[in-house]
Amino acid sequence: MEADPVKASLRKTLLEKRDGISFELLKISSKKIHKNLKKIKEFKDAENIACYYPIGSEVFTQDIIQEALSNNKNVFLPRIEGNSLSFRKITDTKDLQHGKFDILEPKEDCPVFESLDVVLVPTIGASKDGARLGYGHGYYDRFLSKVKTTSIALTFSKQIIKSVPAYEHDIKVNWIVTEDKVIKASKIG
């Protein structure tokens, strides 16, 4: 974890707020987020979609993954390798195993893919300008700094805040999708 006390305090507050959402409301809100996600042309047209498998009170992405696979899209999930992420293709949830932080991630023999049309990013909090608060390890910032792709943060409306402390190494997302709205946050590139 990073040593920024402001981000750490904000992260703690936002996680407590998100963790307070009931399982039923998480399911309902996640379905609405999935529906709103499909309003983004870049997502609808994407052939190669990077997603994540949710942990805790994150937006449930299982339906997004299943629908993309059913529509013959290529679906990639992150695998932590050292200090970075590689996105590996899955064809089924049988391709997943527990990895670092006990997160389900693709097995090592799943193929790595470099060119992604869209990356769905787990988010603890975000501001409307695309600044995102993650878990503080920097995996997504390092990955997004190396690729040119559309990045979409999935989060709940109550996690949208006025501002997120941002530093030079922090990468803004292009879109933010909540259960209530779709926000065009920043340009690609």
Say if residues 186 and 162 touch (Cβ distance below 8 Å): no
Could you report the per-residue pLDDT of 32-61, keeping only the tens digit for each?
999 999 999 999 999 999 999 999 999 999
Over residues 74-94, the pLDDT tens digits come to 999 999 988 889 999 999 989
Are the CB atoms for 180 and 157 separated by under 8 Å? yes
The region, left, alpha or beta by phi > 0 then psi within -120 to 50, assigned to residue 154 is beta
How does the average pLDDT of the chain come out, rounded? 92
Sheet strands side by side (includes 48-50):
84-90, 74-81, 48-50, 118-122, 150-154, 175-177, 182-184
Domains of the chain: 5-184 (3.40.50.10420)
Q: What average pLDDT score do residues 169-180 get?
A: 94
Record the pTM: 0.93
Please state the φ and ψ torsions of residue 70, each to the nearest 5 degrees. Answer: -65, -30
* CA gap 33, 28 in Å, rounded: 9
The confidence score (pLDDT) of residue 3 equals 64
Percent of the chain with pLDDT over 90: 77
